[in-house]
Structure 1
Amino acid sequence: DKPDEIEKYYPISADEDEKEKTYLSMNFVTGESNNLELSMAMGMLDYILMESPAAPLKKALLESRLGKDVFGSYNNHLRQPFFSIIVKNSESERKTEFSELLYSTLEKIMKNGIDKKLIEAAINIIEFHLREADFGSYPKGLVYCMEVMNSWNYNGNPIQALEYETSLKKIKSALTTNYFEKLIDKYLMNNAHRNLLVLSPEKNLAEKKAEMIRRKMASLKHGLSENDVEKMISDTESLKRKQSTPDSPEDLAKIPSLSLDDIQREAEILPMEEKTESGLTVLSHDIFTSGISYVNLYFDTTVIPKEKIQYLPILARLMGEISTEKYHYSNLSNEINIHTGGIGFANSNYVEDSDDSTYYPKMVVKGKALSKKLPKLFELMKEIINHTKFDDKNRIREVIQESKSRMEMSISEAGHSVASSRLFSYFSQAGKYNEITTGLSYYKFISDLERNFDERYPVLVKILKEITAQIFNKNNLLVSVTQFKDDYSAFADSFSTFLEGLRSASMVTHDYQFELSTKNEGLLTPANVQYVAKGFNFKHLGHKYTGSMAVFSGIARLDYMWNRIRVQGGAYGAFAVFGRSGNVYLGTYRDPNLRESLDAFDQMADYYRQFDPEEKEMSKYIIGTISQLDSPLTPSMKGSIAASRYISHISQEDIQKNRDEVLNTSSGQIRDIAEILDAMMHKDRYCVLGNENRIKEESELFGELVKVFE
């Protein structure tokens, strides 16, 4: 039987090319969410078929050139979980080809069987993460509470989500049986509860929808009586009064709260001991990690000349994703996931605490494994660093296409990050570096590379080989290891062997200096909302960072910006960020407004010039700030944060000083910061990413208008 077909459209700009902008998605309903074994198994199947570099279905879809990006999705947070296979950057007329290739490939997989190494890798990586239980800054208990809702919401056993051992044991039978092939047969090949979604671009769709709404509203207004109109006006004025009226002290007093006496005054000391191994600095963090060792290798990338720094994120993306001399990329992925908790490469930047014009770009190689597996972890790291091959043109093309595609999705979902990054590039050297290597400038760079890939491939390979040889050098390496102290000797032995194969050569470093200019750009997209950012650097105005600025950020976010930007303005989110480097931005998230939000930013200083809360209210804001400072940290986060402070020259004394400043913040200091904010707002640096027509309507605000997507 053919699946139900659904055809929908999404908006693109009038001058945007419609070619290769269609999404094709085959979607299957797969049982119910209170079946823990099935949910866990389908999540693994998503990895096996679609997410691993060795994934056979993903490989077949990519090789067919049906689209430029392919990915899977499994959502088990509904009563009826669904499994999706998605091709991005395709054409609607290729939907039949997509469906036929999908099913023929699944049939081959069932007939020939799934590589047991791939199954072992999938089971190991999922089990590693389950036992590690590293949820970043989210409290473990909160995450577990959300997990139990998957079954509890639908009358299932809430505890079963935490009792994964029994289900995991059953799934491990797949190592010797056709367990996953049976799942494919039942839930993908012979599942009538499915559909094919074709999501195509349509020019001016946003404008058409806006016009429909205008006509509908005009029709509704035409049908209203004079009394109806007057009542709506009255109700709106009443709502605005409620929105702008503060809660009464009596109501606020009813809310239970901590006192400042309940707060620990001493800042947490993150363990770190500076050691030396084979002449290199090793930052050792003695923390109980349940037998896991977290290893971070920081390679200085200032050895790369300025004109080549945009190739650094490409190199980071390729490492571990393409073949080496010993392993095909699919086998390499399996080896990593069978023996370790993962190996990743990232192009990162660490800013000097007292000077945003001084920063330390690094290529960070992160790996984690059980301590007994450290020799294998370092063996794989060395293989990737020393023996990656840049000769598979099609594979490199696939990775670059996927990188561009994922950036496009990120821009659409996190426009505030793009706008703030662009803003900082107007006045900050560190901000300019970050924007070139992670922001819109980098997206433009990789888009051009992808569009002209065949022509630029020879030069790309040449540069990648050059910068690989320059970066991965023991003479520009700093190491951080987070583990229980009893495991350090295992690390030292494996690390010593790793160093024996690492290049050692003299280095020449570069001091990057970028030309900065105030552009005040409007970044044009077909989105229906805006992301508005405005800011400056207070250190450029002669001020120093204090902990009270963190308190001000919290007050602004929960008071003025909450009411003015979110409640009254209708934005989904609002931010006030004061960085240690001096960079500050006020920002909005999914904002229906533009000029109104810029005006609200400009008027914030006047609001806080009158700031004079009662003692209990001030204490509430301070305690809220402390809750941000004391967010839960996993062992790996503690090690990484300690290392980043070391690189940026932030001492424990600095951390304690800022904490004391937070705890001692007065309303007078908040009023003083309002003056600093006012001076920054008068510098008139801003950037807006949002709806093309809305930005063009306010074109006089902008120095330049930039089309985001081609």
Structure 2
Amino acid sequence: MTDIAAIAAAHGFTLEGSQSIAEVEGTVHLMNHAASGARLMWIANDDANKAFSITFKTPAADDTGVFHILEHSVLCGSEKFPVKEPFVNLLKSSMQTFLNAMTFPDKTMYPVASTNEQDLVNLMDVYLDAVFHPDIYRRPQIFQQEGWHLEVEGEGDSRRLVYNGVVYNEMKGALSDPDSVLYDTLSAALFPDTTYRFESGGTPAAIPSLTYEGFLDNHRRHYRPDNAYIILYGNLDIDRFLGFIDEGYLGPLAGADRAGAPNPLTLQAPVVCDLARASMATTPENACTAVGYVVGTAAERERLMAADILIDAILGSNEAPMKRALLDAGVADDVVAYLADSVAQPFAVVSLKGAREGAAATLKEVVAREAARLADGGLDRELVAAALSHAEFVMRERNFGYPDGVVLSMSVMAGWLYDDADPTAYLRYEDAFADLRGKLDEGYFEALLRSLFLENDHWACAEVVPVSGSENAEEEAEERAVAAALGEAVDFDAVEEAVEKLRAAQEAPDAPEAVAKLPQLTRADIGPAPAEEPWRVEEAAGMACIRHEVPTRGIAYVYRYFSLDGLTFEEIPYATVLAFVLGKLATARRSAAELDTLVQARLGNLGFACEVHEAADNREKLTPVFVVGASALSENVAYTVSLVREVLAETDFADTARIRDILAQCRLAMEQSFASAGHSSAMARVASYYLPAAVLREAAGGVHFYRFLRDLLENYDERAEGLVAKLQELAGRLFVDGACTLSFAGSDDDFVRFVEAGPALGGAAAPAALVVPAPVLRREAFVVPTDVTYTAMGYDADLLGAPYSGAWLVASRILSYDYLWSEVRVKGGAYGAGFKVVRSGNSRFYSYRDPRIDETVERFAGAGSWLAGQFAPTASELDGYVVSTAASMDAPVKARSLVRRQDGMYFAGTTLADRARTRDEVVAATLEEIRAAGPVVDSVAGAEAVCVFGNREIIEAANAGLTVIDLVS
């Protein structure tokens, strides 16, 4: 048996304890590096997707966003790796399955993951050197680029100062979201004397007050071993990793001078704030209000789990009792509740979106009244038990979109940062679930409800009030303040000279000898593709069934795909409305609340959506489907049949008031998505200018659908009766066996139980009626309430005669992480940019939280020429792109995601052999093949299909020839 204590001691670590933890399927070892004071945890198990992270305690002391800017900046070159963008180099060249960094309200985390141990060592080396020995002390341009700098816009007498910088623009976009402003306002009211009163990401008003000297001082005081938490995860050579960390970093830093203490992280004494108000320039529909209640401290793990379960039970759905009471009060479009954790004092939040006048007072009144009713005997314990069951399912499935090592590291830091006495508290949950289940009938949750909402001496209420005026009023005020600080006579020439120096630094190529220092794998390190479990098609209950052989760890995943071919194009938006309301209304057997409770208790999830698949070899061949997805633990497989059948065949659509609530919530969610993640909407919309499948997707969920939904809500009273009849008729026409393809993943025993439960509905498919309008090329800009823009440009490569191959995937990665990263992000100040191409031919550029349009469109237009003529990598650089592209195809995915990917391949007519062939093409890609994509990329841009979502003033100032449309006003 491996002597972990001896291995640790050999590298300067003291093993403080080891414990077997079933929830991580392994053993957790806790260590301390005696000489440097660094803490280390190894979560040892058999997972081949290994991970490393280092986290620093970084409580903010102001709103300058210094730790957010540091998070970006330390990854811009270091002592050992003196290149401008080692982070991007790793994205280009490693086999990483996760690579990022995150700024939290009180900590900064740098996690990476890889299935290749040498690659993980390489990633760890770059990250450790970045955090401990960054180039920020030698290159002040990093601070200017990632944080903020001044630029001059306009000419002659119209010249004016503007700010630019990656974090500055990121936070302009982030704080255009009323939910973010509301959270910040509530947090400041709850914690007026601690770090949580500040926006750790930085506010646009405060970021320009951060000086370079203050920036460096914060790094010196916080990025040090005795303020660090290191986590290793997975099946790795611990002797190698501990030796590397000690000899390369912790050992040499052990005797380093300390530059002063880190910022303190203290607890807030109880306070009450009856109402904190923030105003922002946004549409009236974005008014919102929230009340927050401190639950306890991060060390109270079981109480926090119980609070999370309680919040889900009474506020987690439209039929949950407290949410229903708030919706019935008629003062908001939606109610959202959650536990805000990963802070020293987690707090429960109940918020109203689309709030009307007087909503804050009503919110407090209804919460108090309903809490008293529930605590005094009105709490349905079956509802709480169902929420507990659902929480257990979520924790066991662990399908959070990240590798397990990253997710578990984040979980650990939600407790360890605040409690050195029990670092593994947030990894363990089985005993707490069992304990809480035992307390269900003991009045525990009623007592918790009372203490949380009724007897709490630490709570606050906040609201965001929309105001009229320029969306850039705050920015203009900042510019005036800077001009005043610089003196009456602003030296525009000096500012322009500084920008030229910054541009020169950004454009200067890395020295070849510096690039050569970066650790890199070669094509020879790629190895064979990991085996992917196949699928087969067989008959089940008279329907075609896609049977997956994916390991599911005791969970069954069931999907039903009903053809939408029998609908007309005009009916497609109604199908999406149907997807929104199913599962949220009463059925012939149960009330909506009873149905919700049963679904929570017996299913892992139940969801409905419309989606469109297109044949890989024929852009005109579409497979539009209505998706019904359900999952359950093995013992509950029969409920994936009985509950789904009840919802599909017996839903009562007569409750028009509830339907209105649901649709208003959907409208609000779409509007906020346009403003906060507009690149996704812009990419979807631009594809509809040239791709038939995208025209149909727009009708099912894009701008086309949004306009349909707004019109429906604005005329709801007149259209409600007809809507009810339409939904009933559509359900009868759609949900028939003749139009259904099944998909099942789970054990053979589970499949037998599924079939024996009788999934058949009966009925034949309706005759095909769907005719999709032809795409029309457009250049559109949609005005939405945000301070930034999102721009997309695209075209169909198939129409340009460009066959798809793996070389296109490599070219896409090159454009995203070389040309566009440099031109749009680094020089242009956008938070993100990229180029995507898929097998069907759909090829699109995009920018994210971008302060500019014309310059971005111009840079998109130059991408193909750059690829064909200026892209001149060394052999090792090209190998890096190939390695990282292959690794992105090989990255492990969770069972649910793999099932959905394979179902998509089935409908597109592609096979695992096609996927393997593409991977082989990636591995074999040559420079000539990649450069040959350049003229096609030029043609994609030359089609001039452009879509923008964003700020009115930026859009109206652009010269891109856009048709400007007010979308949400």
Q: Identify whether the pair has TM-score above 0.5, normalized to the shorter chain.
A: yes
TM-score by length of 1: 0.95
Matches of residues 348-497 of structure 1 in structure 2 within 5 Å? 348-494=611-757, 497=758
SS where residue 389 of structure 1 aligns?
Answer: coil
Partner residue, 2:273: 3
Matches of residues 19-98 of structure 1 in structure 2 within 5 Å? 21-98=286-363
Partner residue, 1:152: 416
Partner residue, 1:691: 951
Match of 1:110 among 375, 381, 387: 375
The structural deviation recorded for 1:233 is: 4.7
Contact 1:286 1:485 in 2 (8 A): no
Contact 1:76 1:82 in 2 (8 A): yes
**1:116-171: per-residue Cα shift (whole Å, max 9, x none)?**
111111000000111222233x1111111111011122234331111112222222
Q: Which moved more, 1:187-196 or 1:140-149?
A: 187-196
Contact 1:372 1:490 in 2 (8 A): no
Matches of residues 492-571 of structure 1 in structure 2 within 5 Å? 492-494=755-757, 497-499=758-760, 502-571=761-830
Please tell me the residue identity of whatever aligns with 1:379. Answer: S
The structural deviation recorded for 1:85 is: 0.8
Q: Distance in 2 between matches of 1:503 and 1:412?
A: 43
Partner residue, 2:920: 660
> 1:279 aligned to 2:542?
yes
Q: Distance in 2 between matches of 1:505 and 1:549?
A: 42
The structural deviation recorded for 1:629 is: 0.8
Kindly tell me: are residues 260 and 486 of structure 1, through their superposed partners in 2, closer, same or farther at Cα, counting changes over 3 Å? farther
Corresponding residue pairs, total? 697
The structural deviation recorded for 1:486 is: 4.3
Match of 1:615 among 858, 864, 875: 875
The structural deviation recorded for 1:49 is: 2.0
Q: Distance in 2 between matches of 1:73 and 1:424?
A: 35
Partner residue, 1:645: 905
Structure 2: where are the runs of 5+ without partners?
A: 1-270
Q: Distance in 1 between matches of 2:765 and 2:286?
A: 47
> 1:681 aligned to 2:941?
yes
Please tell me the residue identity of whatever aligns with 1:44. Answer: I
Contact 2:611 2:700 in 1 (8 A): no
The structural deviation recorded for 1:230 is: 6.6
Partner residue, 1:193: 458
Matches of residues 110-149 of structure 1 in structure 2 within 5 Å? 110-136=375-401, 138-149=402-413
Q: Distance in 2 between matches of 1:269 and 1:143?
A: 23
Q: Distance in 2 between matches of 1:444 and 1:596?
A: 30
Q: Distance in 2 between matches of 1:278 and 1:121?
A: 30
Please tell me the residue identity of whatever aligns with 1:149. Answer: M
Q: Which moved more, 1:340-349 or 1:582-591?
A: 340-349
SS where residue 759 of structure 2 aligns?
Answer: helix
Partner residue, 2:500: 237
Contact 2:645 2:759 in 1 (8 A): yes
**1:568-607: per-residue Cα shift (whole Å, max 9, x none)?**
1111111210111111111000001111100111111222
Please tell me the residue identity of whatever aligns with 2:808. Answer: M
Contact 1:267 1:655 in 2 (8 A): no
The structural deviation recorded for 1:485 is: 3.2
**1:523-580: per-residue Cα shift (whole Å, max 9, x none)?**
1123110001111111011111111111111111111111111111111111210111
Partner residue, 1:247: 510
Please tell me the residue identity of whatever aligns with 2:579. Answer: A
Alignment RMSD: 1.8
Contact 1:371 1:490 in 2 (8 A): no
The structural deviation recorded for 1:385 is: 0.9
SS where residue 514 of structure 1 aligns?
Answer: coil
Contact 1:173 1:179 in 2 (8 A): no
**1:501-535: per-residue Cα shift (whole Å, max 9, x none)?**
x1313520124221322220111123110001111
**1:35-94: per-residue Cα shift (whole Å, max 9, x none)?**
221221221122112113431110001011011111112210212212111111223434
Partner residue, 1:316: 579
The structural deviation recorded for 1:2 is: 6.5
Partner residue, 1:572: 831
Contact 1:353 1:648 in 2 (8 A): yes
Kindly tell me: are residues 351 and 158 of structure 1, through their superposed partners in 2, closer, same or farther at Cα, counting changes over 3 Å? farther
> 1:216 aligned to 2:481?
yes
Q: Distance in 1 between matches of 2:778 and 2:457?
A: 54
The structural deviation recorded for 1:223 is: 5.0
Q: Distance in 2 between matches of 1:513 and 1:520?
A: 21
Q: Distance in 2 between matches of 1:653 and 1:108?
A: 60
Structure 1: where are the runs of 5+ without partners?
A: none
Q: Distance in 2 between matches of 1:348 and 1:168?
A: 37
SS where residue 46 of structure 1 aligns?
Answer: helix
Match of 1:598 among 857, 862, 873: 857
Contact 1:148 1:162 in 2 (8 A): yes
Please tell me the residue identity of whatever aligns with 2:277. Answer: E
Kindly tell me: are residues 95 and 114 of structure 1, through their superposed partners in 2, closer, same or farther at Cα, counting changes over 3 Å? same
Please tell me the residue identity of whatever aligns with 2:923. Answer: L
Contact 2:566 2:770 in 1 (8 A): no
The structural deviation recorded for 1:266 is: 3.9
Contact 2:656 2:724 in 1 (8 A): no
Kindly tell me: are residues 702 and 51 of structure 1, through their superposed partners in 2, closer, same or farther at Cα, counting changes over 3 Å? farther
Report sequence identity in percent.
28
Contact 1:339 1:376 in 2 (8 A): yes
Q: Distance in 1 between matches of 2:865 and 2:887?
A: 27
Kindly tell me: are residues 485 and 682 of structure 1, through their superposed partners in 2, closer, same or farther at Cα, counting changes over 3 Å? same
Please tell me the residue identity of whatever aligns with 1:544. Answer: P
Q: Distance in 1 between matches of 2:387 and 2:570?
A: 40
Partner residue, 1:670: 930
The structural deviation recorded for 1:174 is: 3.7
The structural deviation recorded for 1:232 is: 5.0
Kindly tell me: are residues 196 and 225 of structure 1, through their superposed partners in 2, closer, same or farther at Cα, counting changes over 3 Å? closer
Q: Distance in 2 between matches of 1:147 and 1:646?
A: 36
Match of 1:588 among 838, 843, 847: 847
The structural deviation recorded for 1:224 is: 6.8
Contact 2:567 2:770 in 1 (8 A): no
Please tell me the residue identity of whatever aligns with 1:67. Answer: A
SS where residue 630 of structure 2 aligns?
Answer: strand
The structural deviation recorded for 1:340 is: 1.9
Q: Distance in 1 between matches of 2:537 and 2:713?
A: 43
Contact 1:611 1:667 in 2 (8 A): no
Please tell me the residue identity of whatever aligns with 2:797. Answer: F
Contact 1:119 1:174 in 2 (8 A): no
Q: Distance in 1 between matches of 2:358 and 2:765?
A: 56
Q: Distance in 2 between matches of 1:399 and 1:709?
A: 18
Matches of residues 292-307 of structure 1 in structure 2 within 5 Å? 292-307=555-570
Kindly tell me: are residues 22 and 667 of structure 1, through their superposed partners in 2, closer, same or farther at Cα, counting changes over 3 Å? same
Q: Distance in 1 between matches of 2:581 and 2:842?
A: 31
More helix by percentage: 1
TM-score by length of 2: 0.70
Contact 1:371 1:491 in 2 (8 A): no
The structural deviation recorded for 1:696 is: 1.0
Q: Distance in 1 between matches of 2:658 and 2:366?
A: 20
Q: Which moved more, 1:216-225 or 1:668-677?
A: 216-225
SS where residue 745 of structure 2 aligns?
Answer: strand
SS where residue 390 of structure 1 aligns?
Answer: coil
Please tell me the residue identity of whatever aligns with 2:554. Answer: G
Please tell me the residue identity of whatever aligns with 1:11. Answer: A
